[in-house]
Amino acid sequence: MQKLTRLLLGAAVVALAAPVWAEDSSDPIIIPTHNWSSQIVMSNVVGQMFESMGNSVEYVSTDSQAVYEAVRLGDATLEVEVWEGAFGASFMAAVEKGGIHDVATHDAVTREDWWYPMWTKEACPGLPDWKALNDCAALFVTPETGDKGRFLGGPVDWLKHDQEKVEALGMNFVVVNAGSAAALWAEIAAAEKDKTPIVLFNWTPNFAEAVWPGEFVNFPEWVEGCDKDPAVGPIPDKVYDCGNPANGYMKIAAWDGMKDKWPGAYAALQKVNFTNAQIAEMAKMVDIDGMEPEEAATAWLEANEAVWKLWTE
Amino acid sequence: MMTATLPQPPFRLDQKRVAQAILLAALVLVLSRNVLPAYLLRLPESLVLPFADWINAVFDFARDDLGLMAFTRAFSDVVEFCLDVTANLLYGKSRWPQLGPIPWVVIAATAGMAGYALGGLRLAVLAGGTFVWIAVMGQWKWAMETLSVIVVAVPFAVVFGLLMGILAWRYRLAERILNPVLNIAQSLPHFAYMIPVVVFIGVGPKAGAIVTIIFSVPPMIRMSLLGLRAVSPEIIESGKMSGTTRWQLMTRVRLPAARTEILIGVNQVIMQSLAMVVLASFIGMPGLGQKLLQLLQALRIGLSVEIGITIVLLAIVLDRMSKAWAMKQPEHVEGATWVQRHRLLAIWLGLVALGFVMAWLHPYFAEVERKQALSMADPIDFVVGGFIDLIDPVTDWLRWFLITWVLIPLRDAFLWLPTSAVLLALAGIGWRIGGWRSALVCLAFALPIALSGWWDRAMITAYTVFVSVALALLIGVPLGLIGAANETRARRFLLVCDTAQTFPSFIYLIPVVMLFGVNDVAVVAAVMVFATVPIVRYTIEGLRNIPPEIVESAQMSGASRGQLLRHVKVPLAIPTLVVGANQSIMFALFMVIIAAFIGTQDLGQEMQRALSSTDVGKGLVLGFAVAFMGLLADHLLLKWARGKGATLGSR
């Protein structure tokens, strides 16, 4: 029966791979997935890669902040997308407590900042300069913000410092926090219908760039210490008088025990490396083309054998 | 129970006077707000108690010093083992016993047969059809992931509930302790439960199962207690006469006699666990809920509605089946051969065999691939999009009007009120309704919120709930009146209520944001939709349950239809309606926390923050604040309704 052949095949793969990675434990490697597609696809890509090496893999969906605690305790084995801006703090806090460490850094850079879809630029041609945006504040007025423009921020637990930025740069904006990424997308989708100007929090890499072309607002460039030292940055007596880093890191993190328990998989994980384009492509396969994350991962692995085969050697 | 609410004329007058005096004092505080000293406006910082730190200290102590962690981990290992078995059988996760996955045709046939055995052909079609729907829509794996958790969580919850129920029935003290615990547990927002679970159990399917167990146990405890209480002494007597031991008396006499209540408890457990499907996926429950959140994250509304329909169908099927089971009395079948005695079992075995053969012949009958799946996502997206476009011009105006003229002024007013005046006013209302006891109860619920330091956020929550429930009453009562016009319509309306109640509320957050944007209008709209359901339901129930003799006698005295409604039906239905309003407030409090995903500045937003930073203390303090608000409203409304019911002498 089909079941049996699959089982035999699996056993054969294990048997064949065994001499090479004899020391890898047969316990499943637990890969956490979150609620955005590029991360799920990437987790599946890495997972299927491990499976091709004879490891068994399981996926568990978790909260993207709480996951670092889970990895630290070994409940989950690794995390493939650690964004500097969004999760840097949680990750570092977990690293300090011990049990989790930084395995590798992707080539992909992350950026998170104020962003607008292209139709906004037609109404406010001076963009992407932040001063021009400030002059157009009236375009972004909503009933609840009175005579100031509205900036739609991400959920408060993402710990962005938009309010501080508005104050530091003396901007004519009010920060309204959406409660979830889905609420942000729903707002863009609604604004698209009648091309209402909108400025909101967004990040790259991300599926939204493929659906709604847009740009980040250019704030005074990020300088180290701008968030702590008032003297750094253009405004002498304010902190956060700058944009977010335009090239934040995206790391891979793993449980400290992984190295000893699955040395083969760990060695491969150290070489895993994705670029912005690859990540955007993975998100697109799911969010635009409507594939399932597992299918998308399989398709990606088939199309990019040259890339990932090197990692497993 | 009834004696407590008997009218006591000499005391009544005093009660009214005292209440008026207190309310007057509150009014004076409000009027002189601008000259009040700061400590009457808001509790001074020095009085705010660090509840969260205390709770965290207790949890740390329990975890690190008492070694509770080892215990919870051991328990969760047991749960995990069960989960692995069901996961293997239902969707073929590679775990012992390595038999699964069972082909979908077999499960659909089993569901159909179970439906037939319990409730005849209609239930068979409903149950079998639901599983066929799940399979052909390509949701099989997700649904089985969900069911694999529910199938484990429900028996655990039932057994725990039954044991606790027996304990409470046996020992008065246990009941005294359990009662308030259950009250609070049933009004705690779901997220408050989850944080301790993450700390003690971690994340993943087992955490999902355990949070589901915790959430669904309370009604089981209550129903078992109720059932055991209601067993008539004659039955016990005859049991004793047959010479039963205590154990036999419990298992052979009391529990079977309490069968109906216990099975209704089981029904409640199932419904509660389905209500947790989406929320539990925040801490790693796999399946439909997790998929739903992923799809919403990419704004794929059509596909998420399909999942929502599946959850509703599952809820309806399991509800009907467990109710049919509760109502069905055990019967004895005579017959010569095994096949004659177990006719249905034999047919089922035949169908199962057939199913396995079909699955072996063609893989479609084992598992429907996503690519082969049917979908109606595009038409749904089209309809939702069209609807939004259609009412877009109105919503712009509506949003502007509501925000500028209703919501912002009201919200500012709620925040403007001095804390002291609010506390006094609540005590005054309590005194008016239930004397000094109620006044104290009100203060006992309200004061901790002030002491916790979350007063402003709690006021925003109160304002959202107030506006939403007011709007829900405006919409729900007329709908209920229309619905109660005749029996068929009433049944249809109640079905819609059931559906709306089990439909995952996350799905309509997105269209609401598209319509109104991220602001209070969207929040109020989402909460209102959910809060309207119990009002419609209880209005219909209230009107339906009026004794026909009263209606007839009113008709004979020549009352017109309008008069009948105004002077007879509505006044008689008011106690039930108040219960509905009470439920509506509870629903609104749950929903307002979920509406944090739109974007709010109330307790819900902080709760979301506490969840993502796994701050047990903060999460529980916020949860208690929400629960206390609910219990306060519950106390006042039910006390009032009971008084009203007593004076009307209904039933």
Encode pLDDT of A175-229 as tens digits. 999 998 889 999 999 999 889 999 999 988 888 887 899 999 999 988 888 888 8
Taking the CA of residue A34 and the nearest CA in chain B, the distance in Å comes to 8
User: Touching check for A182 and chain B: CB below 8 Å?
Assistant: yes
pLDDT: which is higher, B201 or B416? B416
In chain A, whose CA is at the least distance from the CA of B298?
A287
B510: chain A residues, CB-CB within 8 Å: 182-183, 186
Residue-level pLDDT at B647: 64
3-state secondary structure of A252: strand
**B30 assigned to some structural domain:** no
Which residue has tokens 């072309």?
A213
Taking the CA of residue A232 and the nearest CA in chain B, the distance in Å comes to 30
**Segment B22-41 mean pLDDT:** 90
Give the one of A65, A144, A290 whose C-beta lies nearest to B612's C-beta: A65
What is the pTM for the complete model shown? 0.89
**B289 assigned to some structural domain:** yes
Give the one of B203, B399, B600 whose C-beta lies nearest to A60's C-beta: B203
In chain A, whose CA is at the least distance from the CA of B207?
A62
For B637, what's the count of Cα atoms within 13 Å in the CB-facing half-sphere?
Answer: 19
| Calpha distance B407→B588 (Å, rounded) | 16
Residue-level pLDDT at B1: 39
A70: chain B residues, CB-CB within 8 Å: 202-203
Cβ within 8 Å, pair A143-B299: no
What domain range is B256 assigned to?
A: 152-330
CATH architecture of A27-109+248-312: 3-Layer(aba) Sandwich (3.40)
Closest CA to B383 of B302, B455, B265: B302
Whole-number mean pLDDT of chain A? 87
For B375, what's the count of Cα atoms within 13 Å in the CB-facing half-sphere?
Answer: 20
User: Touching check for A207 and chain B: CB below 8 Å?
Assistant: yes
Whole-number mean pLDDT of chain B? 90
Cβ within 8 Å, pair B518-A183: yes
| Segments making up each domain of chain A, as ranges | 27-109+248-312, 111-216
Residue B81 one-letter amino acid: F
pLDDT: which is higher, B154 or B39? B154
Give the one of A58, A65, A287 whose C-beta lies nearest to B298's C-beta: A287
Domain termination residue (choose one: B309, B330, B351): B330
B515: chain A residues, CB-CB within 8 Å: 190
CATH number at residue B622: 1.10.3720.10
**Residue B397 and residue B324 share a domain:** no
A14, exposed or middle or buried, with CB in 10 Å at 0-12, 13-18, 19+? middle
Domains A27-109+248-312 and A111-216 share a fold: yes
CATH architecture of A111-216: 3-Layer(aba) Sandwich (3.40)
**B86 assigned to some structural domain:** no
Over residues A40-66, the pLDDT tens digits come to 999 999 999 999 999 999 888 777 887
Residues 72-131 of A with CB under 8 A from B: 73, 75-76
Residues 393-432 of B with CB under 8 A from A: 399-400, 403-404, 408
Which residue has tokens 């998929």?
B291
Taking the CA of residue A35 and the nearest CA in chain B, the distance in Å comes to 5
3-state secondary structure of A149: strand
Over residues A60-93, the pLDDT tens digits come to 877 788 789 889 989 899 999 999 888 888 899 9
Residue-level pLDDT at A6: 53
Over residues B99-110, the pLDDT tens digits come to 889 999 999 999
Residues 608-627 of B with CB under 8 A from A: 608-609, 611-614
Taking the CA of residue B132 and the nearest CA in chain A, the distance in Å comes to 21
Cβ within 8 Å, pair B518-A179: yes
Give the one of A7, A156, A190 whose C-beta lies nearest to B517's C-beta: A190
In chain A, whose CA is at the least distance from the CA of B599?
A179
Where does the pLDDT of residue B14 fall: very low under 50, low under 70, confident under 90, or very high at 90 and above? confident
A286: chain B residues, CB-CB within 8 Å: 298
| Calpha distance A23→B638 (Å, rounded) | 66
**Segment B137-158 mean pLDDT:** 95
Q: Mutate which of B203, B369, B389, B508 to disrupt the A interface (most A C-beta within 10 Å)?
A: B203
**B364 assigned to some structural domain:** no
Residue-level pLDDT at B13: 56
B517: chain A residues, CB-CB within 8 Å: 142, 187, 190
**B115 assigned to some structural domain:** no
**Residue B320 and residue B406 share a domain:** no
Cβ within 8 Å, pair A62-B284: yes
Taking the CA of residue A60 and the nearest CA in chain B, the distance in Å comes to 6
B5 has pLDDT over 70 = no
Total number of domains in chain B: 2
Tokens of B65: 């010093």
Residue-level pLDDT at B12: 52
**Residue B620 and residue B486 share a domain:** yes
**B290 assigned to some structural domain:** yes
Residue-level pLDDT at B544: 86
Residue-level pLDDT at B651: 41
Residue-level pLDDT at B630: 95
A7 has pLDDT over 80 = no
Give per-residue burial for A220-237: e unless 16+ CB within 10 Å, then b: bebeeebbeeeebbebee
Residue-level pLDDT at B493: 92
Give the one of A60, A61, A187 whose C-beta lies nearest to B518's C-beta: A187
In chain A, whose CA is at the least distance from the CA of B356?
A1
Taking the CA of residue B299 and the nearest CA in chain A, the distance in Å comes to 7
Other beta carbons within 10 angstroms of residue B338's beta carbon come to 10
Rounded to 5 degrees, what angle do the CA atoms A246, A250, A251 make?
Answer: 150
Over residues A242-299, the pLDDT tens digits come to 888 888 899 999 999 999 999 999 999 999 999 988 998 888 888 878 888 999 999 9
| Calpha distance A200→A176 (Å, rounded) | 9
B93: chain A residues, CB-CB within 8 Å: 58
| Beta carbon pairs, A and B, within 8 Å | 142
3-state secondary structure of B618: helix
- Poorest-pLDDT segment among A132-136, B371-375, B507-511, B633-637: B371-375
Give the one of B94, B300, B598 whose C-beta lies nearest to A183's C-beta: B598
Cβ within 8 Å, pair A66-B203: yes
Q: State percent of chain B over pLDDT 70.
A: 97
Residue-level pLDDT at B3: 46
Taking the CA of residue A229 and the nearest CA in chain B, the distance in Å comes to 26
Rounded to 5 degrees, what angle do the CA atoms B180, B182, B186 make?
Answer: 120
Cβ within 8 Å, pair A178-B284: no
Where does the pLDDT of residue B15 fall: very low under 50, low under 70, confident under 90, or very high at 90 and above? confident
B2 has pLDDT over 50 = no
Cβ within 8 Å, pair A142-B519: yes
User: Touching check for A294 and chain B: CB below 8 Å?
Assistant: no
Taking the CA of residue B420 and the nearest CA in chain A, the distance in Å comes to 29
Residues 536-595 of B with CB under 8 A from A: 595
Q: Are B137 and B306 in contact (CB under 8 A)?
A: yes
Cβ within 8 Å, pair A35-B297: yes
A179: chain B residues, CB-CB within 8 Å: 518, 595-600, 605, 608
Over residues B516-571, the pLDDT tens digits come to 999 999 999 999 999 999 999 999 988 888 888 888 888 888 888 888 888 888 88
Give the single-character DSSP code of A218. B
Domain termination residue (choose one: B330, B355, B373): B330
Q: State percent of chain B over pLDDT 90.
A: 59
**C-alpha of B558 from chain center:** 43
B300: chain A residues, CB-CB within 8 Å: 287, 290
In chain B, whose CA is at the least distance from the CA of A141?
B400
Q: List Cα–Cα distances, A233 to A120, A219, B592, B607, in angstroms.
A: 27, 11, 40, 35
B198: chain A residues, CB-CB within 8 Å: 66, 69
A7: chain B residues, CB-CB within 8 Å: 98
User: Touching check for A1 and chain B: CB below 8 Å?
Assistant: yes
Residue-level pLDDT at B288: 95
Over residues B298-354, the pLDDT tens digits come to 888 999 999 999 999 999 999 999 999 888 877 777 777 888 788 889 999 999 999
Domain termination residue (choose one: B330, B352, B381): B330
Residue-level pLDDT at A158: 78
**B103 assigned to some structural domain:** no
Residue-level pLDDT at A21: 46
Taking the CA of residue A182 and the nearest CA in chain B, the distance in Å comes to 5
Give the one of A66, A181, A183 whose C-beta lies nearest to B614's C-beta: A66
Cβ within 8 Å, pair B299-A186: yes
**B90 assigned to some structural domain:** no
